[in-house]
Amino acid sequence: MNSENSAPDQRPQMPDPEHGKSATRMGFFMVPVLLIGAVLALGMGIRFITVSGQPDFIGYILFVLAAVFVGFAVYRIRRISTGKDKY
């Protein structure tokens, strides 16, 4: 066997163990989506509160939804920063 033609560093690559595990894992990319959703919910909530003739309870529900979005974003950031979740 000729040593000039064989390359010892060429071997089959192992597949990525994280590849294709879960299609629902968004990692850090979910954080901006949640924050944008919170801003939209806040804007719609303010709109429902300030416009007369619109039901106020929908505005309050949207404020609660915005708070839940922000809380979930903070939760995801904390899990990613501690290493419990992958990004």
10 is a domain residue: no
Give the pLDDT band of residue 80 (cuts 50, 70, 90): confident
Q: In the prediction, which pLDDT does 23 show? A: 46
55 is a domain residue: yes
Q: In the prediction, which pLDDT does 9 show? A: 63
How many structural domains does the chain have? 1
17-71 pLDDT, tens digit per residue, is 655 555 456 677 888 999 999 999 999 999 999 998 989 999 999 999 999 999 9
6 is a domain residue: no
43 is a domain residue: yes
**Threshold 0.85, pTM exceeds:** no
User: Residues 70, 38: contact at Cβ < 8 Å?
Assistant: yes
7 is a domain residue: no
68 is a domain residue: yes
Residue 2 pLDDT exceeds 90:
no
CA dist 31 and 70 (Å) reads 9
Residue range(s) defining the domain that contains residue 64: 27-82
